[in-house]
Structure 1
């Protein structure tokens, strides 16, 4: 599992890496690889070249690009790694919510809190990796990770799965109702049925507007007013429950 640490302060960066390394040595059940970055731009470039990290441990107060802006940039690239923020102030807590931060830890870092956050983040990543949807297409059977799906929609008599990065997978002609076709998705708490023909991944929603929603990679979906109200309620409940 790949974990990125970004902090412009060399001392703090080193301390975070030391604590993280101690944690990794205590975990014999999983391989953890850490990379450190002094600048957000360098981390963004590494993500572009190597792909998203599983977990991002980010300082918030940094020059040029702060941790919140960095989180937004990562989400806009489609990077959905768990973000754990480190900061000496609580004033950014609400902003961290908007980029779907997994945790928010105050400095100086308490090992117990840091270890607990890593335990939960690693567990969440592992669970999501295990969940795959098998979709029969005209060409073959496609295996789609739940976490890669932004939303699924009924189009005539097929289901189109919209994935991170603009990719789409279309099923063969349905012989069942849409709700039956996406039953595996909507029994997962990340997904919610919006109206009769759309299932949305709440974890990827970054904003709910009056006529639709915006996803982590910038894609938008248009929805009716009632569906928007239902989505907004479900989205708020999802994150309140998750953060609690």
Structure 2
């Protein structure tokens, strides 16, 4: 179920958006929840308490704090939310994309444009969800693209997610639970109780360690080398990767 939020100080706009969303849900048979906010402060307070939304329709011109500034604060907690700005003027269009806006929608919002926009953003959300992992890290709520996850290690109760670009995210959790969650994808190998490896990043395997493309080395327990090599070769052959002998 995807979560949507509307934030606008104009009650009439909120009412119109609610009607459009109800009609969209009925015609498209979509399971969506919606939360309404009348001010940026209400919205930010909810996000600071841990509430998260997949899609946010955010008015730009509101009393107290405009939508651009609100979006900047939201990005401190959540880099994945699809933010759609609402405004009656195109003057903020360039600024809107500096905070990772998904779209810039001029008012009034007509049914045809709303439906087209919802079709697009829901397709993007579904695509992102199917190949990603959401975690609560020090940076806030973070969605990790699984193709970019090189390996994960656990120290105590802290999981360290190492991405191919060198970034590392920390989150509290269990490697056992993470492995069960990622197992259906088929490309994650657990060579050691403290490590989980994306086999797409393996450079070579020796009897002592797995060397990854980043040159990180994952230790292999004594006697496990053959088993790990066989699992990797099976994965590689299924992916139709080429081997030279």
**Common fold, TM-score beyond 0.5?**
yes
Tell me if the contact between 1:40 and 1:70 (Cα under 8 Å) persists in the aligned partners: yes
Structure 1 residue 127, shift from structure 2 partner: 0.8
1:121-200 to structure 2, matched below 5 A, reads 121-132=121-132, 133=146, 136-139=151-154, 152-153=165-166, 161-163=167-169, 167=171, 174-178=210-214
Q: Secondary structure at the match of 2:119?
A: helix
CA deviations on 1:98-119 (whole Å, 9 max, x unpaired) are 0111111111112111111111
Structure 1 residue 87, shift from structure 2 partner: 0.7
Q: How many equivalent pairs are there?
A: 165
1:114 equivalent in alignment to 2:114: yes
Judged with a 3 Å threshold, the aligned counterparts in structure 2 of structure 1 residues 150 and 93 are, in CA distance, closer, same or farther, namely farther
CA deviations on 1:3-57 (whole Å, 9 max, x unpaired) are 00000011111111111221111121x3100111101111111122243200000
Runs of 4+ in structure 1 off by over 3 angstroms are 134-140, 148-152, 166-174
Structure 1 residue 151, shift from structure 2 partner: 6.8
1:217-236 to structure 2, matched below 5 A, reads none
Greater relative CO, 1 or 2 (CA 8 Å, sep 6+): 1
Structure 1 residue 178, shift from structure 2 partner: 2.7
Equivalent position of 1:9 in the other structure: 10
Structure 1 residue 138, shift from structure 2 partner: 4.8
Q: 2: distance between equivalents of 1:111 and 1:176?
A: 50
CA deviations on 1:117-149 (whole Å, 9 max, x unpaired) are 111111111111111436554549xxx9xxx98
Equivalent position of 2:93 in the other structure: 93
Judged with a 3 Å threshold, the aligned counterparts in structure 2 of structure 1 residues 171 and 41 are, in CA distance, closer, same or farther, namely same
Tell me if the contact between 1:53 and 1:79 (Cα under 8 Å) persists in the aligned partners: no
Judged with a 3 Å threshold, the aligned counterparts in structure 2 of structure 1 residues 2 and 137 are, in CA distance, closer, same or farther, namely closer
* Structure 1, gaps ≥5 residues long: 154-160, 182-244
Q: 1: distance between equivalents of 2:152 and 2:103?
A: 38
Q: Secondary structure at the match of 2:126?
A: helix
Q: CA RMSD in A?
A: 3.1
Relative to the length of structure 1, the TM-score reads 0.59
* Structure 2, gaps ≥5 residues long: 133-145, 176-194, 198-208, 218-245
